[in-house]
Amino acid sequence: MTDLTLDPALDLVLERWVDVPPERVWAAWTEPRHIVRWFTPAPYTTPSCDIDLRPGGRFRVVMRSPEGEEMVSEGCYLEVTPGRRLIWTAALAPGYRPAPAPTTATDFPFTAVISIEAQGQGTKYTAIALHRNEEDRAHHEAMGFHDGWGKALDQLVTLMRGDALGS
Amino acid sequence: MTDLTLDPALDLVLERWVDVPPERVWAAWTEPRHIVRWFTPAPYTTPSCDIDLRPGGRFRVVMRSPEGEEMVSEGCYLEVTPGRRLIWTAALAPGYRPAPAPTTATDFPFTAVISIEAQGQGTKYTAIALHRNEEDRAHHEAMGFHDGWGKALDQLVTLMRGDALGS
């Protein structure tokens, strides 16, 4: 795995211990059937998800607001280290092609790094968003990065604990 | 290696057979001491080059015009398959961080794919530039992609054949 250097002025970090084993967290992040059940904080939903799990492959989610407005988020995987780390970026389209230029200030590209580590009976979970500049970081924070990604993680935990017991 | 899908409307391709073995072409592309001697078509020069040869690592070259104007090109490696394929992009800064937004129409990001394959006594060499859209492709072509990359490749061949015999 590539060493990544964080910059507190540019990056946002969510770090938590969760009561789900690492392989279940990995499954939650890499199987569309799970993603559609936890990815967007309620009352938003995730009607569909496409995953081609390899460097250069597609990660695409459709999100829907309570009013029925749909937003598509598409990116490209950069690193797939099973059970350990998943990296993708919205700065590239699938196949490593540069993504279209953003059209609004809130449409900035970021790179996401999900790190997973066994700790006790659960997982040390770290989600990092890397930004181009301080404005993009500030926008992302104001849009509710910590609250939104935290609530989604709560949903992941509820789902994958239930899954472990049931389905 | 990841399968890449080309799009003739968006991509530029230079394909040639060269009289240099694959391992010498790979060395030319991955060692700064070689890059500074062939990368920019004369009378442009390449005063310096930084390479951190791993996915997520830095590829940075400084180019200088005959008038002494310097241009810096910085990107991030995406794939490093020794002797076979090298991919980097200007859409990402080193460490997978999204690159700053372009400031001019000719400052568009592209992803470069250098493929190397043994053929006869030499190498089948393919250089591909992937663009966001047709305008960027047209800009790149008008800036002299085929001529410029072709001349640089001639310089690579001259250098690495000499190298093979001499130093």
pLDDT tens for each residue of chain A, 167 residues long: 778 889 999 999 999 999 999 999 999 999 999 999 999 999 999 999 999 999 999 999 999 999 999 999 999 999 999 999 999 999 999 999 999 988 887 789 999 999 999 999 999 999 999 999 999 999 999 999 999 999 999 999 999 998 655 44
Which residues are CB-contacts of A104 (< 8 A; sequence separation ≥ 6)? none
State the average pLDDT over residues B119-124: 96
For residues B84-123, one letter each, b for 16 or more C-beta atoms within 10 angstroms of the residue's C-beta and e for the rest, the string is ebbbbbbbbbbbbbbbeebeeeeebbbbbbbbbeeeeebb
- Residues A82-116 pLDDT 10s: 999 999 999 999 999 999 988 887 789 999 999 99
Min Cα separation B93/chain A (Å) = 9
User: Which residue carries 């969510």 as its tokens?
Assistant: A14
Min Cα separation B92/chain A (Å) = 7
Q: Which of A4, A91, A101 sits opposite B92 (nearest CB)?
A: A91
B contact test, residue of A59, A78, A97, A103 with most B CBs within 10 A: A97
* Total tally of structural domains belonging to chain A: 1
A contact test, residue of B96, B104, B128, B136 with most A CBs within 10 A: B96
pLDDT score of A165: 55
Residue B3 lies in a domain: no
Q: Rounded to whole angstroms, what are the CA distances from A160 to A112, A151, A153, B40, B66? A: 21, 14, 10, 54, 62
> Residue B149: what residue type?
W
pTM, rounded to two decimals: 0.94
Is the CB of A87 inside 8 Å of chain B's CB atoms? yes
Task: Please report how many Cα atoms fall inside a 13 Å half-sphere around the Cα of residue B131, on the Cβ side.
Answer: 20
**What tokens does B138 get?**
């047209």
Measured distance CA(A125)–CA(A117) in Å, rounded: 7
pLDDT score of B163: 65
pLDDT of residue B165 exceeding 60: no
CATH number of the domain where residue A75 is located: 3.30.530.20
Is the CB of A133 inside 8 Å of chain B's CB atoms? yes
**B160 vs B2, residue with greater confidence:** B160
Residue A136 lies in a domain: yes
Residue A134 lies in a domain: yes
pLDDT score of B107: 85
Measured distance CA(A3)–CA(B140) in Å, rounded: 33
Min Cα separation B71/chain A (Å) = 20
Q: Which of A78, A108, A110 sits opposite B78 (nearest CB)?
A: A78
Percent of chain B predicted with pLDDT > 70: 97
- A122 phi and psi angles, rounded to 5 deg: -135, -140
Question: Please, what is the average pLDDT of chain B?
Answer: 94
Contact B95 A130 (CB under 8 A): yes
Measured distance CA(A18)–CA(A125) in Å, rounded: 7
Q: pLDDT class for B167, splitting at 50, 70, 90?
A: very low
pLDDT of residue B97 exceeding 90: yes
∠ CA B38-B160-B165 to the nearest 5 degrees? 145
Contact A101 B102 (CB under 8 A): yes
Helical segments of chain A, H only: 22-30, 32-38, 134-142, 145-165
Residue B4 lies in a domain: no
pLDDT of residue B22 exceeding 80: yes
pLDDT score of A167: 46
Length of chain A: 167
Report which secondary-structure segment, H or E, holds A1.
none
**What tokens does B59 get?**
């590829």
**What tokens does A91 get?**
């700065």
SS3 (DSSP) at A163: helix
- Residues B34-59 pLDDT 10s: 999 999 999 999 999 999 999 999 99
Min Cα separation B2/chain A (Å) = 6
Which residues are CB-contacts of B154 (< 8 A; sequence separation ≥ 6)? none
A54: containing domain: 11-165
Q: Is A68 left (phi over 0), alpha (psi -120 to 50) or beta?
A: left
Q: Rounded to whole angstroms, what are the CA distances from A38 to A58, A160, B95? A: 19, 9, 28
State the average pLDDT over residues B67-72: 95
Contact B98 A108 (CB under 8 A): yes
Residue A3 lies in a domain: no
Contact B132 A97 (CB under 8 A): yes
